[in-house]
Protein backbone atom coordinates (compact mmCIF):
# COMPACT_ATOMS: atom_id res chain seq x y z
CA UNK A 1 0.00 0.00 0.00
CA UNK A 2 1.54 3.25 -1.16
CA UNK A 3 0.33 5.81 1.38
CA UNK A 4 0.92 3.81 4.59
CA UNK A 5 4.45 2.99 3.34
CA UNK A 6 5.00 6.69 2.60
CA UNK A 7 3.73 7.67 6.06
CA UNK A 8 5.98 5.10 7.70
CA UNK A 9 9.05 6.58 6.02
CA UNK A 10 7.91 10.12 6.95
CA UNK A 11 7.41 9.01 10.58
CA UNK A 12 10.90 7.53 10.69
CA UNK A 13 12.37 10.76 9.30
CA UNK A 14 10.40 12.79 11.85
CA UNK A 15 11.59 10.57 14.70
CA UNK A 16 15.19 10.90 13.57
CA UNK A 17 15.01 14.70 13.34
CA UNK A 18 13.14 14.92 16.66
CA UNK A 19 15.51 12.50 18.46
CA UNK A 20 12.68 10.06 19.17
CA UNK A 21 14.08 6.54 19.59
CA UNK A 22 12.46 3.82 17.46
CA UNK A 23 13.24 0.34 18.73
CA UNK A 24 11.80 -2.63 16.85
CA UNK A 25 9.27 -0.36 15.19
CA UNK A 26 7.99 0.90 18.56
CA UNK A 27 8.02 4.46 19.84
CA UNK A 28 8.13 5.24 23.58
CA UNK A 29 4.68 5.93 25.01
CA UNK A 30 5.68 9.36 26.27
CA UNK A 31 6.53 10.42 22.68
CA UNK A 32 3.58 8.84 20.83
CA UNK A 33 1.48 12.01 21.10
CA UNK A 34 4.13 13.96 19.19
CA UNK A 35 4.17 11.33 16.46
CA UNK A 36 0.36 11.29 16.14
CA UNK A 37 0.33 15.07 15.92
CA UNK A 38 2.90 14.89 13.14
CA UNK A 39 0.93 12.18 11.28
CA UNK A 40 -2.31 14.18 11.47
CA UNK A 41 -0.48 17.29 10.25
CA UNK A 42 1.17 15.36 7.40
CA UNK A 43 -2.13 13.79 6.30
CA UNK A 44 -3.96 17.12 6.46
CA UNK A 45 -1.22 18.77 4.42
CA UNK A 46 -1.36 15.94 1.86
CA UNK A 47 -5.17 16.15 1.63
CA UNK A 48 -5.01 19.90 1.12
CA UNK A 49 -2.39 19.54 -1.62
CA UNK A 50 -4.51 16.94 -3.40
CA UNK A 51 -7.64 19.04 -3.03
CA UNK A 52 -5.93 21.98 -4.68
CA UNK A 53 -5.01 19.77 -7.62
CA UNK A 54 -8.48 18.23 -7.88
CA UNK A 55 -10.55 21.30 -7.03
CA UNK A 56 -12.37 22.22 -3.84
CA UNK A 57 -14.09 19.38 -2.00
CA UNK A 58 -13.13 16.74 -4.56
CA UNK A 59 -13.29 13.23 -3.17
CA UNK A 60 -10.94 10.97 -5.01
CA UNK A 61 -8.81 9.68 -2.14
CA UNK A 62 -9.52 6.18 -0.84
CA UNK A 63 -9.75 5.67 2.93
CA UNK A 64 -6.46 4.77 4.56
CA UNK A 65 -5.97 2.51 7.54
CA UNK A 66 -2.64 2.98 9.21
CA UNK A 67 -0.79 0.61 11.42
CA UNK A 68 1.38 2.82 13.55
CA UNK A 69 2.98 2.28 16.95
CA UNK A 70 1.67 -1.27 17.17
CA UNK A 71 -1.99 -0.12 17.13
CA UNK A 72 -4.38 0.15 14.23
CA UNK A 73 -6.01 3.56 13.97
CA UNK A 74 -8.22 4.85 11.21
CA UNK A 75 -7.92 8.37 9.88
CA UNK A 76 -11.11 10.09 8.77
CA UNK A 77 -12.52 8.63 5.57
CA UNK A 78 -13.01 10.82 2.49
CA UNK A 79 -16.74 11.11 3.13
CA UNK A 80 -16.06 12.18 6.73
CA UNK A 81 -13.59 14.79 5.50
CA UNK A 82 -16.13 16.03 2.95
CA UNK A 83 -18.95 16.22 5.49
CA UNK A 84 -16.66 17.97 7.96
CA UNK A 85 -15.75 20.54 5.30
CA UNK A 86 -19.45 21.20 4.72
CA UNK A 87 -20.18 21.44 8.45
CA UNK A 88 -17.31 23.90 8.91
CA UNK A 89 -19.03 26.25 6.43
CA UNK A 90 -22.18 26.41 8.58
CA UNK A 91 -23.24 27.43 12.07
CA UNK A 92 -23.04 23.74 13.01
CA UNK A 93 -19.25 24.07 13.31
CA UNK A 94 -19.60 25.52 16.82
CA UNK A 95 -21.52 22.50 18.10
CA UNK A 96 -19.73 19.56 16.45
CA UNK A 97 -16.95 17.32 17.74
CA UNK A 98 -15.27 15.04 15.21
CA UNK A 99 -13.97 11.58 16.19
CA UNK A 100 -15.66 11.95 19.58
CA UNK A 101 -15.30 9.30 22.29
CA UNK A 102 -18.49 8.12 23.99
CA UNK A 103 -17.69 5.45 26.53
CA UNK A 104 -15.57 2.95 24.62
CA UNK A 105 -16.86 3.99 21.18
CA UNK A 106 -15.48 6.66 18.87
CA UNK A 107 -18.10 8.25 16.63
CA UNK A 108 -17.59 10.16 13.38
CA UNK A 109 -19.36 13.33 14.57
CA UNK A 110 -21.05 14.23 17.83
CA UNK A 111 -23.22 17.15 18.80
CA UNK A 112 -22.95 16.84 22.60
CA UNK A 113 -25.35 19.73 23.20
CA UNK A 114 -28.09 17.59 21.60
CA UNK A 115 -26.67 14.11 22.32
CA UNK A 116 -26.73 13.46 18.57
CA UNK A 117 -24.23 11.24 16.76
CA UNK A 118 -23.79 11.46 12.99
CA UNK A 119 -22.22 8.43 11.35
CA UNK A 120 -20.97 8.50 7.77
CA UNK A 121 -21.82 5.11 6.33
CA UNK A 122 -19.64 4.29 3.35
CA UNK A 123 -20.53 1.02 1.67
CA UNK A 124 -17.00 -0.36 2.07
CA UNK A 125 -17.00 0.18 5.84
CA UNK A 126 -20.59 -0.31 6.92
CA UNK A 127 -22.31 -2.56 4.43
CA UNK A 128 -19.53 -4.87 3.24
CA UNK A 129 -20.52 -7.82 5.44
CA UNK A 130 -23.38 -8.99 7.63
CA UNK A 131 -20.96 -8.92 10.57
CA UNK A 132 -20.29 -5.22 9.99
CA UNK A 133 -24.01 -4.42 9.83
CA UNK A 134 -24.56 -6.33 13.09
CA UNK A 135 -21.58 -4.55 14.68
CA UNK A 136 -23.08 -1.18 13.72
CA UNK A 137 -26.45 -2.18 15.20
CA UNK A 138 -24.77 -3.19 18.47
CA UNK A 139 -22.92 0.12 18.51
CA UNK A 140 -26.22 2.02 18.02
CA UNK A 141 -27.73 0.12 20.96
CA UNK A 142 -24.68 0.93 23.08
CA UNK A 143 -25.01 4.64 22.27
CA UNK A 144 -28.79 4.62 22.82
CA UNK A 145 -28.31 3.16 26.31
CA UNK A 146 -26.18 6.20 27.06
CA UNK A 147 -28.89 8.58 25.80
CA UNK A 148 -27.47 9.34 22.35
CA UNK A 149 -29.47 9.39 19.11
CA UNK A 150 -27.68 8.19 15.96
CA UNK A 151 -28.21 9.65 12.49
CA UNK A 152 -26.73 7.51 9.74
CA UNK A 153 -25.91 9.26 6.47
CA UNK A 154 -24.81 7.07 3.61
CA UNK A 155 -21.71 8.00 1.66
CA UNK A 156 -23.60 8.28 -1.61
CA UNK A 157 -25.83 10.98 -0.10
CA UNK A 158 -22.80 12.88 1.19
CA UNK A 159 -21.12 12.81 -2.21
CA UNK A 160 -24.30 13.46 -4.17
CA UNK A 161 -26.16 16.11 -2.16
CA UNK A 162 -24.22 17.55 0.75
CA UNK A 163 -26.81 20.31 1.31
CA UNK A 164 -29.48 17.67 1.93
CA UNK A 165 -27.20 16.03 4.50
CA UNK A 166 -26.59 19.31 6.33
CA UNK A 167 -30.35 19.98 6.39
CA UNK A 168 -31.00 16.49 7.78
CA UNK A 169 -28.49 17.13 10.59
CA UNK A 170 -30.19 20.45 11.35
CA UNK A 171 -33.62 18.73 11.45
CA UNK A 172 -32.26 16.16 13.88
CA UNK A 173 -30.85 18.94 16.06
CA UNK A 174 -34.18 20.84 16.06
CA UNK A 175 -35.57 18.28 18.48
CA UNK A 176 -33.52 19.85 21.27
CA UNK A 177 -32.25 23.17 19.87
CA UNK A 178 -34.20 26.26 18.80
CA UNK A 179 -34.17 27.19 15.11
CA UNK A 180 -32.36 30.47 15.85
CA UNK A 181 -29.28 28.52 16.94
CA UNK A 182 -29.13 26.68 13.61
CA UNK A 183 -29.42 29.61 11.23
CA UNK A 184 -26.60 31.91 10.27
Around Cβ 119, how many Cβ atoms within 10 Å? 19
Q: Please provide the average confidence, as pLDDT, over all residues in the chain.
A: 76
> What would the mean pLDDT of 97-105 be, rounded to a whole number?
86
Task: Please tell me the pTM assigned to this model.
Answer: 0.57
Residue closest to 151 by CA, chosen among 110, 122, 104, 101: 110
- Cα(92)–Cα(98) distance, rounded to whole angstroms? 12
- The CATH number given to 77-184 is 3.40.960.10
C-beta separation of 88 from 62 below 8 A:
no
Q: Is the pLDDT of residue 70 over 70?
A: no
Q: Is the pLDDT of residue 57 over 50?
A: no
pLDDT of residue 134: 85
> What would the mean pLDDT of 47-64 be, rounded to a whole number?
52
pLDDT category at 50 given cuts 50, 70, 90 is: low
Residue closest to 70 by CA, chosen among 109, 103, 23, 37: 23
CA 77 to chain centre: 6
Q: Is the pLDDT of residue 71 over 80?
A: no
pLDDT of residue 163: 81
**Stretch among 83-92, 107-116, 124-133 having the lowest mean pLDDT:** 124-133
CA distances from 158 to 38, 77, 114, 120, 163 (A): 28, 12, 22, 8, 8
Higher confidence at residue 184 or residue 94?
Answer: 94
* Residue 31 CB contacts under 8 Å (≥ 6 apart), including other chains: 20
Residue closest to 166 by CA, chosen among 86, 102, 109: 86
**Stretch among 37-41, 87-91, 117-121, 138-142 having the lowest mean pLDDT:** 37-41
List where CATH 3.40.960.10 sits in the chain: 77-184
Q: Is the pLDDT of residue 86 over 50?
A: yes
> What would the mean pLDDT of 125-137 be, rounded to a whole number?
72
Percent of all residues in the chain with a pLDDT value above 70, rounded to a whole number: 72
Amino acid sequence: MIYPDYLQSEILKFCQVSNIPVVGGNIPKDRQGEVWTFVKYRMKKDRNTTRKKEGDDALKISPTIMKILGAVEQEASPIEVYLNTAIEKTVLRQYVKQQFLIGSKTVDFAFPIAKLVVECDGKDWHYATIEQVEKDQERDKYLAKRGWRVLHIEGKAIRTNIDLCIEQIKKSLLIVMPMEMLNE
